[in-house]
A = this chain, B = another copy of it.
Amino acid sequence: MRKIAESTVRRLSLYLRFLEHFEEQGASTVSSEALASRGGTTSAQVRKDLSFFGSFGKRGLGYDVSELRLRLRDILGLDRRYRVVVVGAGKIGSALVQYGGFRERGFDLAAIYDNDPAKIGRTWNGLTVRDVAQLERELRHHPADIGAVVTPAEAAQAVTDRLVACGVTAILNFAPVQLQVPDAVTVKTVNLVLELEALSYILANR
């Protein structure tokens, strides 16, 4: 498959959300204009985005909702299941484990780790917090696809290095640190405070 831009992948996710909603409502076809409105783009861009993966639409009829939804799920890799390990059992870590949305999207939370004896052994949503000292040993037997780094900032790089050494190639980072990883590893960061500060910078410097 041709390498496609990150911004295209993001739009495909947005189109998919829209198609899921549309299908729930019983719609069978959708126009590129409707998809464009959801992706913040133009219908020409929608047609271009989708043309990467073969032709779907029929001129004048639009796209078949169900067919396009399945095709996008396939393109985005959502028909496989992914093993996710979480490192850090603080507030956000425990919220992640309790969030039901992962499993229904194909992301199985396999384990949660911490180094705090007060947290090790606690159980959330059927998952018991494990000692991070066991990380390497356990990942050797049960490799993970994605590592969620939910530690304090000071610990995040070291934890990431350990996950990468265990063969994890996709990191979901919640710590306020720019993680350093080899080229073959991908990091996505989710951090509310960083986004808020980006807004406050703009508001303060207008």
Contacts and interface: CB of A to CB of B under 8 A. Distances in A.
A183 interface: no
Interface residues of A, number: 62
Interface of A (DSSP majority class): helix
Interface stretch (A12-20, A54-62, A111-119, A127-135): A12-20
A206 to B, nearest CB: 8
Contacts of A125: none
Given A76-B200, A200-B78, A205-B1, A39 B190 contact: no
Contacts of A39: 178
Given A101-B193, A105-B193, A193-B101, A170 B17 contact: no
Given A10-B178, A146-B203, 8 more contacts: A1-B205, A13-B194, A76-B197, A76-B200, A80-B203, A95-B95, A186-B199, A190-B190
Interface of A: 1, 6, 9-14, 16-18, 21, 37-41, 75-78, 80, 82, 95, 101-102, 105-107, 145-146, 152-154, 157, 169-170, 172, 176-180, 186, 188-190, 192-206
